[in-house]
Structure 1
Amino acid sequence: MIIGYARTSTLDQKAGLAAQQRDLAVAGCEKVFTEQVSSVDMLKREKLEEAIEFAREGDVMVVSKLDRLARSVAHLVKITERLEAKGVALRILDGAIDTTTANGRLHLNMLTSIAQFEREIMLERQREGIAKAKAAGLYKGRKPTAKAKADDILKLESEGMPPLKIAETLGIGKSSVYRILSEAKEKAV
């Protein structure tokens, strides 16, 4: 199945949305998911999530332009990894990227490599900044949130609450809950 996704940032971009829908229809999309929401507000991109969830192995997801799908190359990488894991190809009409072809996969892999390079440079700068701040005695690090809730974790666990529910209740990661419970058991031995 060929699945289309169209998005505009604001409600007053009706012509842009209509143009995308027209292009997707010409591309043979059998089902089109549309929404009018900013790409920055990822929590509200419900139709994109629906489109990805709807897609099945062998399907092709089509967008008119790259910026209608992803807000950055890193975001594009995440989306394409999710689609690839499901066996779904991606076609971007403006730019002729089609992951069902070798050339399309090459273009996408080049974008992915650039994103990885950008991320590594950003992390390197971050590490340098942290080292510089530590040397100047200005770096405090992140406040440990889970350890601050260790007493609550142990209390809830003693009341019979399962670890996953504890994590959800306290708003911390499940691995943190398991680690604190494990450390508490080690101390008890």
Structure 2
Amino acid sequence: MQQQRLHTEGCVIVRSEKVSGASRDGRTELATIIEFLREGDELVVTRLDRLGRDTRDVLNIVHECEQRGAFVTILDPHVSTRGEMGHVILTVLGMVAQMERRFIKERQREGIAQARARGVYTGGKPRLDYALVWKLRNEGLGPSEIAKMVKCSRMQIYRVLAKGAQPPVQLAAGNS
């Protein structure tokens, strides 16, 4: 929907990435866009939180764009850095977004604490079958082979093995 909105607004080049706007780490598309901005260009985003969720990050991104002679426009609500008032509004909106994010995290922590107190908080679901990892390791497979088989990174396998918490082996007693 965001890409469609940008095209509707007349954007010629539309770039996207599936990375959190919580920090600039790993936001290679954003870095590429800023690098290619030229005098008179306009960086358009649908909402402020698509640009960043931290006031300082948003203001730094706007500053970098302006250093290149470009403008930043947010579509919802419509705010542009073409005028001085746009800077003030972006700063205020950035602060509100950052405050909202802190409130959400605080409510989440409170909810988890209450659930733990009631004994109903179980945490996130395990994404990796540790028993399978150890079984494959005991069969003589290396971390790279295990990672390919369980479809995860090699680093995750190293972390599982480093914990050393190998699940107990169940032996079946039988007549031999």
TM-score with structure 1 length normalisation?
0.46
Q: Which has the higher strand share?
A: 1
* Higher share of residues assigned helix: 1
